[in-house]
A and B are shown apart, each in its own frame.
Chain A
Amino acid sequence: MADLSINFAGIQSPNPFWLASAPPTNTGDQIMRAFDAGWGGAVWKTLGDPIVDTSSRFGSIDVGNSRMVGFNNIELITDRPLEVNLREIREVKRKYPKHVVIASLMVESKEDWRDIIKRCIDAGADGLELNFGCPHGMCERGMGSAVGQEPEVLKVVAGWAVEYSTVPVLVKLTPNVGDIRVPGVAAVQAGAHGLSLINTIKSIVGVDLDKMVPYPVVGNRSTNGGYCGPAVKPIALHMVSSLGRDPRVNVPISGIGGIATWRDAAEFIAMGCTSVQVCTAVMHYGFRIVEDMIDGLSNFLDEKGMKSVNELRGKALGAYSEWGDLDLHYKVAAQIDPEKCIGCDLCYVACRDTSVFCIHTAGEELIAGHRAPTRDKAIAKATATGVHVPWVDWDECTGCNLCSLVCPVPGCITMVDDTRGKPFESWNDRIDKGTNKVPGGLRG
């Protein structure tokens, strides 16, 4: 079984799976149960001056029959007194010395930062996470994303924390910026020992059309909140990758945003993360999901012959390049398996209305000289069973993927290599050769 333990800026963790600072990490009791379930670490629900929360405070979007594909909250930081939280941090660390407890912090003045940092470290926190990311409520008070969006302010506040702390300091970044590398690099320059991202994305999750009030409804009003859950994963993955491949970022990254399975986690690690954090998936299904995250990741590493999760880190980062460096001669074509096809014709209508109309039904003709490898089988099945099996004209197919994405039957449409030996040539190669110029070019 592969070794899942990690070292995050000096913090040892039994595995890369941490709970993100959020409702699941509200109390010591919860965190101890989470550790029993298998979580390697937990970032405590952000500490600071206790706040008052509204009711209700969550909202979500469902897509088809999938619940909570995206999740929205207008919750603030902890509503419990600091002393209580500190006492519980001490208890958790005493009972679970090998597990990671990171104190998430958000206060205002320099003195407050000094005071809270000292007390958290005294309580036994293994590290600190500066919450510069909360995009609702707290930012109106000059904290959270109000700090994360101003690189100069971020540098100053992170600098204080680095100065006062004797344990590693992580800066949690807000995605509500134009270029994530600006606050990321500012944090590194301020001396941060690690970065965690993303916090939630500023959002309005929907509108109650009867009350004419956005969700979540608080009396007869609402406010913008923070968006997270499966829907934000691609955004988080891009931001993590941008920092992962930036040479100025020489500190470990804790990846957050839409992670729900070992596969999601493996993707974040492959794009450069050392640990991952989870919030929404635990809110949806409970702490127990970590069992499969551990089991699945370790089986995956075994299958790939990797002895440690550290071997996975950054593996896919090198393949993340600029568009101009992609091979313009690489070509795939869609192949429909007539055996599997159920004849819904979603691929047909998608290709017709969005792409190049290269998917045809049994009755349609093939242009002379064109290739359509599955046409005969498609016609045979359509004739025999009445199932509307379509086929693809390979000389028209642009290999866009759309049909394979809309097809409801797994494995029915595959994208098959149809490069046919053409050599590599990128857009930038063409620019260099002067064969394909546009004013300004892509390489500036």
Chain B
Amino acid sequence: MNPVTSALPAQRLESHIADSKPNYIPGDAVAEANRCLYCHDAPCVTACPTGIDIPTFIRKIGTGNLTGSARTILSANLLGYSCARVCPVEALCVGACVYNAWHRNPPIQIGRLQRFAVESVFANGSAATLLSKAAPNGKKVVCVGAGPASLACAGYLALEGCSVTLLEKRAIAGGLNVTGVAPYKMDATGALAELAYIQSLGVTIQTGVEVGKDVTPEQLLKDHDAVFVGVGLGGDSKLGIPGEAGPGVFGGVEWVEKMKLESGYALEGVRRAVVIGGGNTAIDVVRELAKLGVPDVALLYRRTEADMPGYRHELELARKEGVRLVERAVPASFVRTGDKLAAVALADGREVACDLCVVAIGQGKLGALVSSFPGVATSDKGLALGEPMTGTTGNPKVWVGGDVTGGELVVTAAQDGKRAARSIAAALGIKARENAPYLAGHR
């Protein structure tokens, strides 16, 4: 048993939510692949933050060369599996597909094809040896946090021969891919399949180690040639209104994690749920609640629909699932009957009755942790300051990337990790092999 990937409780609420885009069967994947025009200088590639050679990997599916297809994907994006499932493709690759300009056919289902190719090499056991690996070079690298950014950075450096350790404060590694992503896109078992793949490249993952508490930044710097800080964001932001810290009220990330990972957590007695926020986490949560069968799910947003930062296509899907949007809803306090949550009272006097409330208005920043690494600066918002193309910081041995720098997607975290890996390898004097996987995709 793999101690890192076997930590999942059996009774998880998320397992009641079905995969909204199940994996293709082979014939259907080939049929979809055959629709791809194999564009020259394809706009879908430009739109992919990691720069996967999309026409090439799709054509390889069409010819039945799944090994080559998966290699094309994973070299440019080691997290090509989770990205295939969680990327907001409508706003990225699929949104740029030339078919959008041709009002006849829907754009190519790039994410689903990408999943098909990678899942096939995960399933047949060939993934671990798909990308070429360099001989050990004796360099020691540590990645702080085991989310997408660190996993990408660690995997690429392991392939170049570095000895890489990931330190994760939680009992379970994987970051928000395991604890946060909506289960209709990918459940925790999907995220752990990818985690096992990254492990198979030769990285070491230690869970339950909190940097700053269990080990100091100074110690890490002393013991390693390079440190990558990919700690993501902090806990849920608070409304700061009366009654927030009581039963029935949860933070967005907190609630999603319970739903995904807490053994035996259930929505008993929840008939009416309210979610406060207008971003993608808030929209994810309303959809999750609706899919879990809560009869009345309301999304409360302080301004109007047009101002909402979340994806329009996701909001539309939420509406189809029965979610109602309450606009100009500024929460003032929580109302309880005895110990039981009864409603959210709004500043304008309205009350929205509910048995459960999820406050998804953003996450705090880990600026203090970041700046405890000597020489590493943070912005006034608490985000780590790194050079965007490399992740380098004021400390020549420290690199940063992912949400800790303000990125907001798995795929951008993966690209940050890849860029940092290139930069770390260069800084450690590791000669880039001609076919080094991390050279693939966008600069």
Footprint of B on A, CB under 8 Å?
64-65, 342-346, 348-349, 361, 385-388, 408-409
Contact = CB atoms under 8 A, between A and B. Distances in A.
Contact of A342 (B38, B40, B41, B98): B98
Given A342-B98, A342-B102, A343-B101, A388 B43 contact: yes
Interface of B: 31, 34-35, 37-43, 62, 98-99, 101-102
Contacts of A386: 43
A346 B40 contact: yes
B38 A346 contact: yes
A344 B40 contact: yes
B34 A344 contact: no
A38 to B, nearest CB: 32
20 contacts: A64-B34, A65-B34, A342-B101, A342-B102, A343-B39, A343-B43, A344-B40, A344-B42, A345-B39, A345-B40, A345-B41, A346-B37, A348-B40, A349-B40, A385-B101, A387-B43, A387-B101, A388-B41, A388-B43, A409-B102
A289 to B, nearest CB: 23
Contacts of B43: 343, 386-388
Contacts of A408: 37, 102
Contacts of B34: 64-65
B29 to A, nearest CB: 12
Given A345-B41, A387-B98, 10 more contacts: A342-B99, A342-B101, A342-B102, A343-B101, A345-B40, A346-B38, A346-B39, A346-B40, A387-B43, A387-B101
A344 B35 contact: no
A380 to B, nearest CB: 15
Contacts of B62: 64
A343 B98 contact: yes
Given A387-B98, A387-B101, A388-B43, A344 B37 contact: yes
Q: What are the nearest 3 A-B pairs in CB distance?
A: A345-B40, A349-B40, A342-B101
A409 B98 CA distance: 11
B31 A344 contact: no
A274 to B, nearest CB: 39
A419 to B, nearest CB: 31
A377 to B, nearest CB: 15
B397 to A, nearest CB: 41
Contacts of A345: 39-41
A65 B31 contact: yes
A12 to B, nearest CB: 45
Which of A386, A387, A388: most chain B CB closer than 10 A?
Answer: A388
Which of B34, B35, B37, B101: most chain A CB closer than 10 A?
Answer: B101
Nearest to A343: B98
Nearest to B100: A342
A361 to B, nearest CB: 8
B117 to A, nearest CB: 18
Nearest to A406: B37
B99 to A, nearest CB: 7
A344 B54 CA distance: 13
Contacts of A342: 98-99, 101-102
Nearest to A388: B41
A385 B100 CA distance: 12
A64 B59 CA distance: 11
A361 B41 CA distance: 11
Contacts of B39: 343-346
Contacts of B40: 344-346, 348-349
Nearest to A64: B34
A349 B39 CA distance: 9
Contacts of A387: 43, 98, 101
A397 to B, nearest CB: 18
Contacts of B41: 345, 348, 361, 388
Which of A344, A387, A388, A409: most chain B CB closer than 10 A?
Answer: A344
A160 to B, nearest CB: 51
A355 to B, nearest CB: 14
A349 B99 CA distance: 18
B26 to A, nearest CB: 14
Nearest to A385: B101
A64 B61 CA distance: 12
Contacts of B102: 342, 408-409
Contacts of A361: 41
A408 B40 CA distance: 13
A346 B38 CA distance: 8
Contacts of B38: 346
A68 to B, nearest CB: 15
A342 B102 CA distance: 6
Contacts of A385: 101
Which of A342, A346, A386, A408: most chain B CB closer than 10 A?
Answer: A342
A182 B42 CA distance: 52
Contacts of A409: 102
B32 to A, nearest CB: 9
Nearest to B105: A408
Contacts of B101: 342-343, 385, 387
Nearest to A352: B40
Contacts of A344: 37, 39-40, 42, 98
A344 B101 CA distance: 10
A386 B101 CA distance: 10
A65 B99 CA distance: 17
A173 to B, nearest CB: 36
Nearest to B41: A345
A233 B41 CA distance: 35
Contacts of A388: 41, 43
A65 B35 contact: yes
Nearest to B62: A64
Contacts of A64: 34, 62
Contacts of B35: 65
Nearest to B30: A65
Nearest to A386: B43
Contacts of A65: 31, 34-35
A63 to B, nearest CB: 9
Contacts of B31: 65
Nearest to A389: B101
Which of A346, A386, A408: most chain B CB closer than 10 A?
Answer: A408
A290 to B, nearest CB: 29
A215 to B, nearest CB: 15
A387 B43 CA distance: 8
Contacts of B37: 344, 346, 408
A344 B38 CA distance: 8
A387 B42 CA distance: 10
A342 B42 CA distance: 11
A388 B41 CA distance: 9
A346 B59 CA distance: 14
